[in-house]
Amino acid sequence: MQRLVDWSSDTETGDRDDLAPGVGDRAWRQVSVTARECLGKSRCPIGEDCFAERAKSHAARADVVVTNHALLAIHAIEGISILPEHDVVVIDEAHELVDRVTGIATAELTAGAIANAARRAGKLVEDEDADRLEAAGENWADLLESLAPGRWERLPEGAAAALAAIRDAAWALRTAIGPVRPGMNQTDPEAAAARSAALVAIEEIHDDAVRVLTAFDEPDPAQRRDVVWLEVDESRGNPRRALRVAPLSVGGLLRSRLFGESTVVLTSATLTAGGSFDALAATWGLPASSATAIDPATATGKKAPSDGDAPTWNALDVGSPFDHARSGILYIAAHLPGPGRDGTDPRILEEIADLVEAAGGRTLGLFSSMRAARAAADAMGDRLGTPVLCQGDDSTGALVTRFAADEPTSLFGTLSLWQGVDVPGPSLSLVIMDRIPFPRPDDPLLVARQRAVEARGGNGFLSIAGNHAALLLAQGVGRLLRSMDDRGVVAVLDPRLATARYSGYLRASLPPFWETKDPQVVRKALARIRDARPS
């Protein structure tokens, strides 16, 4: 906290990313407010000096504003004015847009949040009013403890009464607090800020309870707006139970609040699944196929959209500067056993060792879980004479730097390494994937979305799980070629990519590498690449 106070006097931006070394979330929350808690520049006694207001003012004078998906989603979806008026939005890494918007539109109701809201309000009202909400929160905690984690198909016994108690107690407390009195911002800004923060916390609790209560009004699960599930987080030792509620689809939000407001350009290296743009377009709430044709020379549709039309979109695949067929090999280890749940098969570990040895290190291992990455790293440490780093041994950025600086070194890890790792040159000539990156089969939101597609007569598995895997596969494969001189191999140790019915769909999402299933061919190719590069 003292470092934060000192830094606040020196920083020009107030941006958390500029603070080094950083601080934890708990400390940061003590010196920051959410957008809903903010009093506003005109009502805040330090509005002229506020870092956020200064950033907004600066952005308003700019021709181009660079931001992230989260702030764009808050601005567009929640209706909180963060960005200046604009005519065009260019969204890079657009394959992540649905997940980012879903995250912003997801709410959670926990006993801890209810207790915190009651404590905040208790400083402003009679104890009796705050005690009512606190008691409702304790009842909520007891209910969640008695229930198994997973998706709610309907309200469990006792949930409706518990939620109604939270809703009514929060509304009564909001009424008791009352609005900020005129002039209070100037005469007692701290009290005004405390009142505003308490009101925001109470309103969020109330709104979340109402959202869960009404989520099951529609009897057909495929037609419901929201998906509700109980999640238990045991990563911090003390299990934390939270009821989460997320939109079944964000397509309608994007269509009305983003595409309906501005011209939008969506770009990424991985916007096609199964060789088509249609899959992602559908998740964005756009028609399943382009309504207009493209002139490839100009990337301009033959029909200009008008305000009276449904959303129209045009797509253009501009190709790649890489000659994939000459620069890379896609090796599918069809002879290996299929993925199991009982740890990594010894035959897969042996295959990894043979490949890494042939490559002379220089390997990025992308695994489906942290447990699998750690098991493989430990096994390679015993078998190989080249260093193997594993995600979690240090910060991801530091590990990537060490990996790039030392050619014989390999780096194994999980999801965050599938995207964004940029290591051109001889330090990376082999990318290993232990299995097709399908989402967890028990993910409540994805399962609900799959069933909704199936209820409309579609292929839920391919539309949701298949597209998820296709995009992530393409991102992982994209780690191999990062410069025009790069050469190498992508090795997928999951035979389903060659044998399953959906394998063609997944391979159509990948660059046109030369393909083989022969391990001898691949090891010889890796050895040639290794020997051709000076150490």
Do 454 and 401 lie in one domain? The reply is: yes
pLDDT-derived band at 304, boundaries 50, 70, 90: very low
Domain assignment of residue 404, yes or no: yes
Do 194 and 162 lie in one domain? The reply is: yes
Do 389 and 501 lie in one domain? The reply is: yes
Helix axes 189-214, 159-177, angle to 10 degrees: 160
Q: For residue range 370-406, what is the model confidence (pLDDT) as tens digits?
A: 999 999 999 998 899 899 999 988 888 889 999 999 9
Domain assignment of residue 209, yes or no: yes
Predicted TM-score (pTM) of the model is 0.80
Do 503 and 389 lie in one domain? The reply is: yes
For residue 534, the model assigns a pLDDT of: 56
Domain boundary among 259, 289, 319: 319
What domain range includes position 70?
Answer: 65-94+251-319
Q: Which residue, chain included where needed, has tokens 């002139």?
A: 295
Domain boundary among 279, 302, 319: 319
Domain assignment of residue 99, yes or no: no
Do 76 and 146 lie in one domain? The reply is: no
Q: For residue range 83-124, what is the model confidence (pLDDT) as tens digits?
A: 888 889 999 999 999 999 999 899 999 999 999 999 988 888
Do 383 and 475 lie in one domain? The reply is: yes
Do 405 and 520 lie in one domain? The reply is: yes
C-beta separation of 308 from 493 below 8 A: no
Residue 121's alpha-carbon distances to 126, 190, 280, 431, in angstroms, are 9, 15, 44, 54
* pLDDT surpasses 50 at 307: no
Q: What is the CATH number of the domain that holds 390?
A: 3.40.50.300
For residue 389, the model assigns a pLDDT of: 95
Domain assignment of residue 389, yes or no: yes
Do 144 and 196 lie in one domain? The reply is: yes
Do 74 and 117 lie in one domain? The reply is: no
By mean pLDDT, which of 213-222, 306-315, 436-445 is the weakest?
Answer: 306-315
For residue 530, the model assigns a pLDDT of: 92
Domain assignment of residue 28, yes or no: yes
C-beta separation of 115 from 135 below 8 A: no
Please give the residue that has the higher pLDDT: either 339 or 387. Answer: 387
By mean pLDDT, which of 42-46, 150-154, 492-496, 519-523 is the weakest?
Answer: 42-46
Domain assignment of residue 472, yes or no: yes
3-state secondary structure of 243: strand
Q: For residue range 343-357, what is the model confidence (pLDDT) as tens digits?
A: 678 999 999 999 999
Q: What is the C-alpha separation between 221 and 457, in angstroms, rounded?
A: 15
Q: Which of 478, 510, 519, 513 is nearest to 327 (CA)?
A: 513
Please give the residue that has the higher pLDDT: either 168 or 262. Answer: 168
Average pLDDT, the chain: 87
What is the edge-to-edge ordering of all strands in the sheet holding 388-390? 388-390, 410-413, 363-366, 430-433, 488-492, 328-332, 514-516
For residue 236, the model assigns a pLDDT of: 61
* Residue 96 burial (CB count, 10 A): 16
Q: What is the C-alpha separation between 409 and 282, in angstroms, rounded?
A: 42
Do 194 and 279 lie in one domain? The reply is: no
Classify strands 226-233 and 150-151 as parallel, antiparallel or unpaired.
antiparallel
* pLDDT surpasses 60 at 294: no
For residue 342, the model assigns a pLDDT of: 66
Instruction: Look at the chain and report how many structural domains it folds into.
Output: 5
For residue 295, the model assigns a pLDDT of: 42
* pLDDT surpasses 70 at 180: no
Domain assignment of residue 57, yes or no: yes
Domain boundary among 231, 247, 263: 247
Do 69 and 57 lie in one domain? The reply is: no
pLDDT-derived band at 16, boundaries 50, 70, 90: confident
Q: Which two tokens stand for residue 533?
A: 């590069």
Domain assignment of residue 126, yes or no: yes
Do 12 and 111 lie in one domain? The reply is: no
